[in-house]
Structure 1
Amino acid sequence: MKQNTKNLIGLFFSGLIVIALAACAVVSANAMMKGFIADETRAVTAAAEAAERIRIAARETEDEQERLHLQLEELTLKAEQMEAFYQQYKDRHCYHYFGQYYEMYEQVYNADVIFIGTSHCAHGVNPAYIEEVNPEYSFFNFGLNGSVPSFYVDWYDIFKNEAHYPTPKVIVWCVDWFMCDTGWLWRRITFDTPSDMPIGIMRAIVKEEKRASAGAAPEPEKNETAAEEAEETVSAPVETKEKTVAELLRESVAEHGILAIDEHMTVLMLNNPIFSSRDRIPEMIRYYLKGRSVQIETPAPVTPKIEGRLLTEADLVLPTYQHKTLYDKDRNITSEYYKGYIPWDVPFGGGTTTVGCVHNRGEWRKFEKLLDQFEEDGIKVIFVECPEYTGWQSTDREIHNKELAELAQSRGIPFLNYNAELASDLNDDNRNYSDWGHLSKRGSTAFSKVLAEDLKPVLAEVLGENGAD
């Protein structure tokens, strides 16, 4: 008996030692991964200090040509940083997640018409074709895979109150008849916030840019007004204090209850970068073996040549870059990412089916709550339902589309439904689809051209005479 007790005590303490060693290993590995991630963001923002110096010089000069030259140089550095970001993260799964949050925080395009919605929107609406027909507006696609209305409630809070993206004139919500199915649509804002995920990365980049800007900025003049200082502060993204894993776990327990083990494990895994970024461990090891060096190679930009003449405002165009064809593991065409849109091109995998959805009324209430918020912020809304293959014959589509149409009518929201009154031959040809609901590259090109024409009068209608100013 005594021997058994002694063995159990020994086993208990051996277990504690193993747990302690494992915890030390995790803490050490996390620190290494965080160091690797931090150096990545510093490499991406290498041009930030120079860009800030040029911005300040352009603001202070009184010579028109010098100002234009400086502003063009600033644009070039802005494009250089965006390209460095692409080169650093292009091999990550679903690059459009990263590119979209880059725009939210960096505000390269400052779109006055934005699209939101699920992957049907992300893969279906190409701003390149929309802006050709509507050059008086700027567009950006913020559609994200698996997004439910409650996700966009959290997303919009960051968009508005943290990133301080300029208030768009119009939000085109690419609605879906299944948009309130939380089993089908999985996205939560907490999936995007860990340190090696898009929001976490952008928060680190903003922090690094502020450090670089502080080094570039001259001492403020004594007569600088408090109002000017306040304006600078409000326009910049807010630096958010990173919560500890313990704080996040406490929040998870408070929200879901102590027995929601899956939820708590998700929080734990997502917020320990050695777990959430475990696929990047080989990359991290190479980084340390190379002496902690992050090198980002960018190609030369495509820029118009300006020789033998004076600059004008029309010359202030963001340089562009040509990319080699690149697919991710899901066959998203990363190299053709453009203003939030990314084509998904695989052989058609649809067919005929009648599968429906579970309509979560709580999500519907969040949907209406966000529409109220848009109205309060003076943002016009348009509903668009992207075309789906006609082989999908769910009765739920008719039921929930009717509810969407009734909501649109009651709120005075234009609704362009390409599975009802605006359905066309595009719906019948499976070459336009990667599956029953996701447009292929061919299909998204055809649809975006149609949508561009259909949006033109609707934008003019919702914005009135001031729509193009």
Structure 2
Amino acid sequence: MKIKIIKIVLFTLIFIIMLSCITKILQPKDDGAIYGVRTFFAQNNNHNSDILFIGSSHIHCSINPAILYKEYGISSFNLSSGSASFWSIYFYIKESMKYIKPRLIVVDMYTINQGAPYPPDFIFKRFAISMPLSLNKINAIRMEASKNVFHYYINPLVFYHERYSELNFIDFLLYKGRKNRYKYYKHYIPSVKVHLQNEPNIKSIYDVSKLYYKVEEYYLRIIKISKINDIPILFIVAPYVLSNEEQRRFNEAERIANEYNVPFINFNLNYGDYNLDFSKDFRDAGHLNDEGAAKFTRYLGKYLKENYDLPDRRGDPKYYSWEMNAKYHDKDIYNIELKQYTNLNEYMEKVKNADDYVIGITMLGNYQKNDRVLQSIATNFNIDNIYLKNASYVVDNNKLIYSSDGSNQYLFHKEIGSYTDLVIQNGQRLSINRRNYIKTKNGINIVIYDKFTEEIVDNIYLQKY
């Protein structure tokens, strides 16, 4: 009898372990909607966050924790998911309180405009994937999903069945092979896209529109749970191109907040105070780009510092995670800016001045010593002996570590990061993780990998005519 029980227990444990591994592989790898929330619950240092920003993509596209830390010493985390419903926000707050008691919770009000009992399926999937299994998750599924699909969100093998045919190499890597990045991740997603927008004219709208009953119910629950746990809460509307009807709902939400003596700030009523420029500060109508987010974050940070008890955490070893997150952000911006250059000399200069780059170069065809591009590569990458026909080079942190030396038969292989390798072979391969980055057979191919961010920064080719 004892042996039978032991076998059952062992079988159950093995099944649970296998199911957990399979689930991690099948889960979608989505930075904007999934990894931010999953990272929050996975990180061991989340109890150090003084502020939790909670809401939709208007949080992780508008508020940059790296700037808040670097310029104000504020430790914060963006616990947000694209178009998260207001009841999802409520369950995010409830679940987060198992881990931390922040000095302040800031809730973005964008999805106060929802008007249906259930969100679109793809939106709720983000919540179901990102939240850890708990009573809060089960209750949220009961609230957000109709009864006939409840089992679909609970059973991972059913939930992820459509992903079997989509799996690729990245799905088998923990945190997409970038464990260090997500170890310090605070969930801000930068963008240098610029889309011209028309500034909304809403300042003269004073009337209100009723909130959907379910939204209002969970709005009041959020206020109640913050008061029960004695955690200050601030409701905000981050800047975006809102409609007149949305402004009427925000007016109603502000009226309710005032009734319960909770601060409410609509930052769409004072664009001039933080110099928001609708010609260059938006990535799309709903979201700020990196320049716009920096302006808004600095303005918000100043307000928070002046109105709440928020210690300066800079230099405190307990907040090393925020220090590293700031470094990742700076490098991300550097890498994004690199790809905006159109002048070759300026591009090469920026590449040369960066730390942690591994650069693979394959030059196919015949060249002359006075070739402008050839001279630029040789000068910027300190290549003394540059060959004029079918040559390959590897530069690591501004040091030449490989040259094909004019040979037609060569093979170079180097591990350049976690789960990442570089291979150059006979002018036919310039590959990272088995993907070939040769785009032209008559010209120069360059691929740049950043060892710090563990990402391919750029892949360019210069056609020879």
Structure 2 length as normaliser, TM-score? 0.50
Pairwise CA distance, 1:340: 2.1
How many Å apart are 1:386 and its aligned residue?
0.8
Matched residue, 2:282: 433
Q: 2:217 aligns with which of 348, 357, 365?
A: 365
Corresponding position of 1:106: 43
* Distance in 2 (alpha carbons) for counterparts of 1:438 and 1:403: 23
Q: Which of 10, 21, 26 is residue 38 of structure 1 equivalent to?
A: 21
SS in 2 for 1:448: helix
Contiguous gaps of at least 5 residues in structure 1:
1-30, 42-87, 204-238, 257-261, 302-320, 324-334, 465-469
After superposition, residues 208-223 of structure 1 pair within 5 angstroms as none
RMSD after superposition: 4.7
Q: Does the CA-based 8 Å contact 1:385-1:419 persist in structure 2?
A: yes
Question: Residues 350 and 38 of structure 1: is their aligned pair in 2 closer, same or farther, counting only changes over 3 Å?
Answer: same
Q: How many residues align?
A: 292
Return the match for 1:198 from 108, 111, 130.
130
How far apart, CA to CA, are the structure 1 residues paired with 2:233 and 2:192? Answer: 29
Aligned-partner SS, 1:368: helix
SS in structure 2 of the partner of residue 430 of structure 1: coil
Q: 1:346 to 1:241 in 2, by over 3 A?
A: closer
Residue 276 (structure 1) aligned with residue 159 (structure 2) = yes
The equivalent position to 2:99 in structure 1, one of 160, 165, 181, is: 165
Q: Which has the higher contact order (CA 8 A, sep 6+)?
A: 1
Contact 2:234 2:264 in 1 (8 A): yes
Amino acid in the other structure paired with 1:340? H
After superposition, the Cα gap between the structure-2 partners of 1:280 and 1:424, relative to the gap in structure 1 and judged at 3 Å, is: same
- Aligned equivalent of 1:130, options 68, 71, 87: 68
In the alignment, what sits opposite 1:377? 229
State which of 93, 118, 121 in structure 1 corresponds to 2:59.
Answer: 121
Percent identity between matched residues is 17
Residue 149 of structure 1 contacts residue 363 of structure 1 at CA under 8 Å; is this kept in 2?
A: yes
Cα distance change on mapping 1:123 and 1:181 into 2, 3 Å: farther
- Determine if contact 2:32/2:81 at 8 Å carries over to the other structure: no
Q: CA deviation at 1:368?
A: 1.2
* Alignment partners' CA distance in 1, 2:19 and 2:42: 22
Q: Secondary structure at the match of 1:125?
A: coil
Counterpart amino acid of residue 388 in structure 1 = Y
**Cα distance change on mapping 1:432 and 1:399 into 2, 3 Å:** same
Q: Deviations over 1:311-339 (max 9, x none)?
A: xxxxxxxxxx5x6xxxxxxxxxxx99940
* Equivalent residue, structure 1, for 2:146: 263
Shift, 1:141, TM fit: 0.9
Alignment correspondent of 1:142: 79
Residue segments in structure 2 that go unaligned for 5+ positions in a row: 1-13, 203-207, 312-465
Task: Select the residue among 188, 206, 216 that pairs with 1:341.
Answer: 188
The CA distance in 1 between the partners of 2:273 and 2:81, in whole Å, is: 26
Q: Distance in 2 between matches of 1:265 and 1:156?
A: 27
Match of 2:150, as an amino acid?
Answer: V
CA distance in 2, matches of 1:404, 1:450: 23
Matches within 5 A, 1:66-465: 92-95=29-32, 97-110=34-47, 111-135=49-73, 137-160=74-97, 164-176=98-110, 178-182=112-116, 186=120, 191=125, 197-200=129-132, 203=133, 263-264=146-147, 266-278=149-161, 280-282=163-165, 321=180, 338-344=185-191, 346-348=193-195, 359-389=211-241, 392=242, 394-421=243-270, 423-424=272-273, 426-460=275-309
- Separation in 1 of the partners of 2:52 and 2:155? 33
Write the distance in 2 (CA, Å) between the matches of 1:183 and 1:336: 36
Mapped to 2, the partners of 1:89 and 1:427 lie a distance apart of 41
CA, structure 1 residues 286+455, in 2 after alignment: closer, same or farther (shift >3 Å)?
closer
Task: Name the CA distance, whole Å, in 1 between partners of 2:159 and 2:198.
Answer: 35
Q: Structure 1: how far apart are the matches of 2:183 and 2:281? A: 17
Instruction: Check whether the contact 1:414–1:458 (CA below 8 A) recurs between aligned residues.
Output: no
Change (3 A) 1:283 1:242: same
Where 1:408 maps in the other structure, the secondary structure is: helix
**Which one-letter code corresponds to 1:276 in the other structure?**
F
Cα distance, 1:354–1:182 mapped onto 2, change above 3 Å:
farther
- Asked if the contact 2:240–2:288 (Cα under 8 Å) also holds between the matched residues in 1, the reply is yes
SS state at 1:165 partner:
coil
SS across alignment from 2:305: helix
| Counterparts in 2 of 1:118 and 1:190: CA distance versus 1, 3 Å | closer
Greater percentage in helix? 1
